[in-house]
Each structure stands twice: as C-alpha cells, then as structure tokens.
Amino acid sequence: MSPVVVGDPGPRPSWDAWALGIAAAVATRADCTRRKVGAVILGPDHRVLATGYNGYPPGQPGCLTDGACPRGRRSYDDLPASSPYVDVDEPCQALHAEENAVLHLPGGSRLGATVYVTDEPCPNCQRFLAGAGIARVVWPEGQIVYQTPEVAAAPAGR
C-alpha cells in the first residue's frame, strides 16, 4: 500500500536536504565501531549514481562485524575521536564513505557530480574527490565547490 497524504503534505525538501537524508540512511550500514559516515553521489540531473559508507574493503574482516580494527577496540579515553588515523602505529584500514561511493560509480559519471556526505570530508578525501572530477561536496555544515573542467569551460554569468 502506498502512503496517502492526509492534510498538508508540507514543503518538498531541497535537493541538498533530500540527498543528505539519503546519506544519513546509508551511514547506518557503516562497519565501524567509532564512526558511521554515509555518502551519496548525485549526477547533475539529481539522479542517485552511487552510495558508500565507511568500512573495510569487501571480503576482508570488518571493524564492527568482526572486531578487526585495532582502533575500534580502544576507548575514546585511550584514543580520542579527533586523533590521526592514517600515519600512526595502528592506522585505520577502512575505506571512507566518499571513497566507497566513488568506487561504485558507473564509468564516466563522476565528472560534474555532487557528493553528499554526513560529515566534513577529511583532507585526503577532499583531495581524492577533487582529483576524481567531482564538482561539489556537501555536508550538513558546509560545502566545497571544485574547479572541474565543465566549470572552467563555462561562460561567465552561468
């Protein structure tokens, strides 16, 4: 049975709010004991192209499901949430949500796309997304607009 609207249906969400809601739903699948991050990529026509969440690569034991991550077994007192996770003795082995989403994109569809993510991308992911040809990254508190080939070639005033 499809939902029936009774009374005022309220306003439609903006594309950004709608996509961030999808990213939040995707984050529930994250395989991490410390953070749950989700991402969704929309094409210029606002169609969903791919989703991703943080977790170990497919086929490898995960953090939440298998206890495989050494960082995930430590408390926040031992290892604060804001501590580095790459260039350390026990690095995080998970792929980030943004990386997983880009890896699942159909060929050639990343140019001009927008990534919506539940948290601000780390510096590595920001560099990765810019290099992948993503046009824009949006998270609940901010956004980045990248200079993509399409943007650079567009006439002024568009």
Active site residues: 98
Distance CA 5, CA 99 (A): 38
Within 6-149, strands assigned E span 38-42, 48-53, 114-117, 136-139, 142-145
CA atoms in the 13 A half-sphere facing the CB of 7: 1
